[in-house]
């Protein structure tokens, strides 16, 4: 058993993220050799995975010498843990839960996910106090609480990714976005186009193992195949599909999507991975293709006439480059939708079409991940909301953990302290260096913290895990939306240390 943290057992549980509500109670529950995990008959099948994970963690975290038995019973005996689903009066969220301490301990969730999160609160409290007292009722404010990992530019081992899934679950985060391709690497096995794969890469067998772990942990894996930019690694194997400017300049990382073979390649890849990953989302990328607003040589209809010709072929004689780009994305959205998923895209080339403008509109089913606004002439998050798009916060000034010597800080933006003290899930970019705060009534799907591997050799995967550890704790607290357990990040640090890492299971680790 871990050393007890200071504080009365009946006070608010010392967990990350902090619970929304708690009540003290006289009863104190602690695990014992007699402890069983009890599943009522209606829940015995739907909560079997949650029971098995909890049994392994109670043992793995040192609370019991052996995993407790899992039994099907209508009621629990003293020392037992009863897991069940049911409606909570306080919240209709499927991720809501209640933990009640008595002779037995009862975890009630709005769904299996809610039950799972209740067991996170239980385990974190046991780690510090050795017992659980009173009642907790808790639920999240935002539906998507995630981490993106750039596995395209840096190979992360399956063991590292599995451990990160468990870390996210430990903090009640529920999305791992895998940026599978970028200019320097395409890091997943492909059966449709094996020639494009960069070694080392994740095999499909390894991905299926990650999917199984993620399902146990209520984490959704979101694959991303970024196009039509950031494709240098793919186009090294298919050079005939590179964009060539009018003056003969070859764009090594940009796909010439005016070519049917280029569109077919990306459709093949999107279809292949949409069928591999069972979750409800697929990220299509779509960023940094035309160039930055201040660049004189950014792509135009004059220097890339084939893109303008393609746009006019699909959207009429008055079409612009952006119409062709949006049509290209919409075709991929249809591939994703045909496989029962919704698409996500980065925001920087998305411009909502005004009613009656005749412009091509991005499919309204797409969720826009808002990471940047280069200047105030470009659409803001408010513009996307007014155009009836769902938005996800990916704020590049706050939420980017970048592998580079000048990008990781102790304080301020791009730091664990900054996430806790300066950022909120409603803080978006007005323009670089300036923030925009959405009003409480404006809908936000959630947010993603991103690990970008600009300099992939700057840190080992173990060093990345250690460095991002406090960032994830600050981020998780902000995303859950409960009252903060400490007024400042400095006061939050002791709780980060006390909560620690997710319980170890087996021999998997962060790697070297």
3 state SS of 280: coil
- Residue 427 phi, psi (nearest 5): -95, 110
CA gap 416, 436 in Å, rounded? 20
Q: Give me 151's structure tokens.
A: 């596995």
Q: Give me 245's structure tokens.
A: 């400017």
The gap from C-alpha 19 to its chain's centroid, in whole angstroms, comes to 21
Contact 367, 445 (CB under 8 A): yes
Q: What is the DSSP string of 436-498?
A: EE--TTS---EEEEEEE-SSTTSS-HHHHHHHHHHHHHHHHHHHH-PPPSSSSHHHHHHHHHH
Q: What is the DSSP string of 406-442?
A: TS--SSSSSSHHHHHHT--TTEEEEETTEEEE--TTS
Residue given tokens 């996210």 in the structure block: 168
What lies within 8 Å, CB to CB, of 425 at 6+ separation is 141, 142, 393, 444, 446, 447, 478, 479, 481
Q: Give me 111's structure tokens.
A: 């769904």
Q: Where do the DSSP E strands lie in 66-159?
A: 69-72, 81-85, 97-101, 105-109, 132-138, 144-150
The gap from C-alpha 466 to its chain's centroid, in whole angstroms, comes to 18
Contact 303, 247 (CB under 8 A): yes
CA gap 449, 396 in Å, rounded? 9
* Exposed e or buried b per residue across 152-170, where buried means at least 16 C-beta atoms within 10 angstroms of its C-beta: bbbbbbbbbbbbbbbbbbb
Catalytic residue status for 288:
yes
What lies within 8 Å, CB to CB, of 221 at 6+ separation is 176, 178, 210, 211, 214, 277, 279
- Of 259, 316, 318, 325, the C-alpha closest to 291 is 325
Task: Please identify which of the residues 131, 288, 361, 378 carries the catalytic annotation.
Answer: 288
Q: Give me 198's structure tokens.
A: 């960069």
**If 0-12 CB within 10 Å is exposed, 13-18 middle and 19+ buried, where does residue 338 land?**
exposed
Q: Give me 234's structure tokens.
A: 């793919």
Residue given tokens 């953990």 in the structure block: 401
The gap from C-alpha 160 to its chain's centroid, in whole angstroms, comes to 16
- Of 280, 258, 282, 288, the C-alpha closest to 270 is 282
Question: Can you name the residues that pair with 447 across neighbouring β-strands?
Answer: 145, 393
Q: Catalytic site residues?
A: 288
């Amino acid at each position: 058993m871990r050393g007890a943290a200071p504080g009365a057992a009946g006070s608010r549980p010392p967990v990350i993220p902090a619970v929304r509500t708690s009540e003290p109670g006289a009863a104190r529950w602690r695990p014992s050799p007699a402890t069983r995990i009890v599943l009522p008959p209606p829940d015995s099948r739907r909560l079997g995975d949650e029971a098995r994970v909890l049994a392994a963690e109670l043992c793995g975290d040192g609370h019991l010498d052996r995993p407790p038995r899992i039994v099907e019973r209508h009621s629990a005996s003293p020392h037992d843990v009863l897991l069940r689903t049911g409606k909570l009066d306080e919240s209709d969220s499927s991720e809501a839960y209640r933990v009640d301490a008595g002779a037995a301990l009862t975890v009630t969730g709005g769904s299996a996910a809610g039950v799972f999160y209740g067991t996170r609160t239980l385990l974190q409290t046991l780690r510090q106090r050795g017992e659980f007292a009173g009642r907790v009722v808790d639920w999240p404010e935002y539906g998507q609480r995630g981490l993106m990992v750039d596995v395209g530019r840096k190979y992360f081992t399956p063991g590292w990714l599995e451990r990160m899934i468990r870390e996210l679950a430990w903090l009640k985060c529920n999305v791992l976005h895998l940026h599978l391709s970028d200019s320097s690497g395409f890091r997943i096995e492909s059966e449709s186009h094996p020639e494009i794969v960069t070694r080392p890469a994740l095999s499909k067998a390894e991905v299926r193992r990650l999917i199984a772990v993620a399902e146990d942990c209520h984490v959704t894996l979101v694959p991303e195949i970024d196009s039509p930019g950031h494709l240098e690694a793919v186009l090294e194997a298919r050079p005939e599909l590179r964009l060539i400017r009018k003056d003969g300049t070859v764009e090594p990382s940009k796909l010439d999507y005016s070519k049917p073979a280029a569109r077919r390649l990306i459709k093949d890849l999107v279809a292949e991975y949409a069928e591999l990953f069972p979750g409800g989302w697929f990220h299509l990328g779509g960023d940094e293709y035309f160039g930055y607003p201040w660049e004189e040589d950014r792509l135009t209809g004059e220097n890339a006439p084939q893109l303008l010709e393609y746009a006019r072929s699909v959207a009429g004689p008055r079409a612009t480059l952006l119409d062709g780009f949006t049509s290209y994305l919409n075709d991929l959205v249809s591939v994703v939708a045909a496989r029962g998923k919704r698409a996500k895209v980065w925001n920087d080339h998305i411009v909502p079409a005004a009613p009656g403008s005749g412009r091509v509109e991005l499919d309204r089913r797409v969720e826009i991940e808002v990471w940047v606004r280069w200047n105030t002439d470009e659409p803001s998050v408010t513009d996307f909301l007014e155009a009836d798009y769902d938005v996800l916060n990916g704020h590049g000034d706050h939420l980017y953990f970048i592998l580079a010597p000048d990008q990781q800080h102790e304080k301020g933006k791009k730091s664990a302290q900054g996430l806790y003290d300066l950022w909120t899930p409603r803080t978006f970019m007005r323009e670089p260096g300036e923030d925009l705060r959405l009003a409480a009534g404006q809908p936000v799907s959630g947010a993603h913290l991103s690990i970008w591997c600009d300099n992939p050799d700057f840190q080992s995967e173990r060093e990345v895990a250690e460095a991002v550890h406090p960032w994830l704790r600050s981020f998780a607290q902000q995303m859950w939306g409960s009252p903060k357990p400490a007024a400042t990040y400095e006061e939050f640090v002791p709780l980060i240390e006390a909560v620690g890492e997710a319980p170890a299971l087996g021999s998997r680790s962060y790697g070297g």
